[in-house]
Amino acid sequence: MARRFYKRRPEASGQAFEDIIDSTNLQYKNGEVALIHKRPTPIKALKTQGNRVLSGVFEKKSTVDYDGIYRGKALYFEAKNTQSETSFPLANIEAHQLEHFEAAEKHGALCFVLIRFEKKGTIFYAPFSFIQKCRKRAKEGGRKSIAYNEFLEHCPEVPVTLRANIDYLLFVDREIEGETA
């Protein structure tokens, strides 16, 4: 039973996924492809000393984890890591994130979710429109998650390319070109 000591905690895996995205964003920045940042977790500092925070509170988030600019367009996305091998629970995307995506799309931003099935070793690019379709189905009494097979059918897998560790902008290109076609 020693094995479990080597097993990474889900939070650690989520962190590892974020690290891959951060390194991708740095590749995009250095290659002058795009300018994309992780939004800091909002913490209200109550007591500080120099650059140290002695006391603070986590504040309510109002947006999503990543934002940036690419080909003149604003983009927002959320990165989700799941341990499941069969489905992604819709509850993993919070209400404030959905609200932000809805408002941002209305103003012309590109919105999507990167979903990693860690045990499968796959990362999908899920446009916000796809997430919304699945949420609508759930609201109408359908399943409360998105099956792995549905991702395979409807969402592209994000590949490693020469320019980036997870080159998700390939699919943003397709959306931009689809819009203008």
Positions at the binding site for Mg(2+): 63, 65, 78, 97
Interface pick for its own copies out of 41, 95, 153, 180 (rule CB under 8 A) = 41
The reply to whether 69 sits near its own copies by the rule CB under 8 A is yes
- Residues 81 and 113: their CA atoms lie apart, in Å, by 10
**Does 73 sit near its own copies (CB under 8 A)?**
yes
Q: CA–CA separation, 33 vs 18, rounded Å?
A: 19
Report the distance separating Cα 131 and Cα 59, nearest Å.
26
Among 70, 138, 170, 174, which residue interacts with its own copies (rule: CB under 8 A)? 70
The torsion angles phi and psi of 83, rounded to 5 degrees, stand at -85, -15
Residue 153 token pair: 């059918």
Q: Which of 21, 79, 98, 104 binds its own copies (CB under 8 A)?
A: 104
Query: 89, exposed or middle or buried, with CB in 10 Å at 0-12, 13-18, 19+?
Result: middle
Q: Is 163 in the site for its own copies (CB under 8 A)?
A: no
For its own copies, the binding residues (CB under 8 A) are 29, 32, 34-35, 37, 39-43, 45, 48, 51-59, 62-63, 67-74, 100, 103-104, 106-109
